[in-house]
């Protein structure tokens, strides 16, 4: 009996060993497959070497750090008004009250007093939200509006473009500053410093342009002209008859002097005409004889 069970036991042992080896090989294959997976997803890309070949191309527009489509509308409002008034001083006081109510101020003021009229020219800056109310106040209570011109200029596109270029230049500026810290030769340092200086100048110009646009958008501009015509009549004119008579005499004398000087300016012709007459008479006398 022992001789019969011994071969069967050996067969079972051999089968179990082969099965264990097969499982072990399958497990090893699974581990190998996991090890062969790509590691790009787990690795961080190494930083670019700072060299002259890797200097950024300023003609390309990188992704800006903020969304430019969130910029609100940029509308610049300007106006020109000419108002005829009865009294410049009174109208000036009315204008001062209207400016105070609308938080506006006078940027420039110019007054002209002539024999024909009085003119007070004002350049007024007013908050954008109060511009229409200011125009209505001047149209209703100051005097007779002779002319009015209101314009609106949408500068949203220009503001957006300048903002994008400014953000890009700031990105390039930081890159060049990093390169300057890693520059190895004096030549590279000088070239990078010159580029940094140019970028800083361009950034200053762009920031100045944005500030100017913001100022024009936040505060509208109105050119206001107050006009008073001086009436000349016998009843109201300050110039009397005696002054008018003296002016007329003076004007007549000036006209006579101008006429006399004009005749004198033809003196060459005054000399030629008598000689022509003399020669003509002499020729006629000879012909008659």
- The pLDDT tens digits of the residues spanning 75-104 come to 999 999 998 888 888 888 888 999 999 999
At 11, is the pLDDT very low, low, confident or very high (cuts 50, 70, 90)? low
Query: What tokens appear for 166 in the block?
Result: 């400014």
Q: What is the pLDDT of residue 45?
A: 33
Output b/e per residue, 114-153; b: 16+ Cβ within 10 A. eeeebbbebebbbeeebbeebbebbeeebbeeeeeeeeee
pLDDT for residue 212 is more than 90:
yes
pLDDT for residue 154 is more than 80:
yes
- Domain borders along the chain are 75-153+221-229, 157-217
Higher pLDDT, 178 or 250: 178
In 3D space, the residue among 20, 30, 22, 131 whose CA is nearest the CA of residue 77 turns out to be: 131
Using CA atoms in the order 187, 192, 193, 194, what is the torsion angle rounded to 10 degrees? 90
Q: What is the pLDDT of residue 222?
A: 92
pLDDT in tens, 184-202: 888 889 998 999 999 999 9
Contact 131, 80 (CB under 8 A): no
Q: What is the pLDDT of residue 118?
A: 85
pLDDT for residue 12 is more than 80:
no
pLDDT in tens, 126-153: 999 999 998 888 888 788 888 889 988 9
pLDDT in tens, 216-225: 999 999 999 9
d(CA 186, CA 196): 15
Q: What is the pLDDT of residue 28?
A: 41
Q: What is the pLDDT of residue 51?
A: 39
d(CA 86, CA 142): 9
pLDDT in tens, 16-59: 544 444 454 444 443 334 333 333 332 333 333 333 434 444 44
At 1, is the pLDDT very low, low, confident or very high (cuts 50, 70, 90)? very low
Q: What is the pLDDT of residue 266?
A: 72
Q: What is the pLDDT of residue 16?
A: 52
Contact 98, 138 (CB under 8 A): yes
Contact 152, 241 (CB under 8 A): no
Cα angle 143, 149, 153; round to 5? 140
3-state helix, strand and coil shares in percent for the chain, rounded to the nearest 5: 60, 20, 20
pTM confidence score = 0.53
pLDDT in tens, 55-64: 444 444 444 4
Q: Which CATH architecture fits 75-153+221-229? A: 2-Layer Sandwich (3.30)
């Amino acid at each position: 009996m022992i001789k019969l069970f011994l071969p069967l036991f050996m067969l079972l042992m051999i089968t179990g060993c082969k099965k264990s080896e097969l499982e072990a090989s399958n497990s090893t294959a699974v581990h190998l497959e996991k090890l062969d997976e790509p590691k790009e997803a787990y690795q961080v890309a190494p930083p670019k070497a700072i060299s002259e070949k890797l200097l950024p191309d300023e003609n390309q527009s990188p992704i800006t750090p903020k969304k430019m489509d969130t910029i609100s509308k940029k509308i610049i409002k300007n106006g020109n008004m000419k108002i005829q008034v009865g009294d410049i001083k009174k109208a000036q006081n009315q204008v001062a009250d209207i400016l105070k109510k609308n938080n506006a101020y006078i940027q420039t003021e110019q007054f002209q007093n002539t024999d024909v009229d009085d003119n007070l020219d004002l350049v007024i800056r007013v908050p954008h939200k109060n511009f229409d109310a200011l125009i209505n106040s001047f149209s209703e209570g100051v005097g007779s509006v002779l002319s009015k011109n209101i314009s609106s200029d949408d500068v949203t596109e220009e503001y957006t473009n300048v903002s994008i270029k400014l953000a890009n230049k700031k990105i390039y500026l930081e890159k060049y500053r990093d390169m300057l810290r890693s520059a190895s030769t004096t030549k590279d340092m000088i070239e990078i410093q010159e580029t940094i200086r140019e970028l800083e100048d361009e950034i200053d110009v762009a920031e100045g342009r944005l500030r100017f646009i913001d100022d024009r958008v936040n505060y509208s501009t109105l050119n206001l002209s107050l006009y008073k015509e001086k009436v000349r009549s016998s009843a109201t004119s300050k110039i009397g008859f005696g002054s008018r008579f003296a002016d007329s005499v003076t004007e007549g004398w000036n006209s006579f002097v101008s006429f006399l000087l004009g005749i004198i300016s033809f003196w060459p012709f005054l000399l030629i005409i008598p000689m022509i007459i003399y020669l003509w008479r002499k020729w006629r006398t000879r012909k008659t004889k």
